[in-house]
Amino acid sequence: MRPDQNNTAGQDELYLDVRLLNNLHDTARWARVLAILGFILSGFVLVFGLFMQQILMAPGMEERTTDVGFSGFAIVVYAFVALVYFFPSLYLYTFAGRMQQGVEQRNRQLVHKAVNKLKILFKFMAIMLVLFLLFFGLSLGMLATGVSELSF
CA distance 112 to 93: 15
CATH architecture of 18-143: Up-down Bundle (1.20)
| pLDDT for 141 | 87
Helix 73-105, helix 108-145: angle, nearest 10: 150
Please say if the pLDDT value at position 94 is more than 80.
Answer: yes
Confidence of residue 78 (pLDDT cuts 50, 70, 90): confident
Query: What is the DSSP annotation of 31-72?
Result: HHHHHHHHHHHHHHHHHHHHHHHHHHTSTT-HHHHHHHT-ST
Average pLDDT estimate for 39-46:
94
Average pLDDT estimate for 67-80:
71
Residue in 86, 80, 98 with CA at minimum distance from that of residue 31: 98
| pLDDT for 6 | 46
Per-residue pLDDT of 14-31, as tens digits, reads 677 889 999 999 999 999
Domain ranges of the chain: 18-143
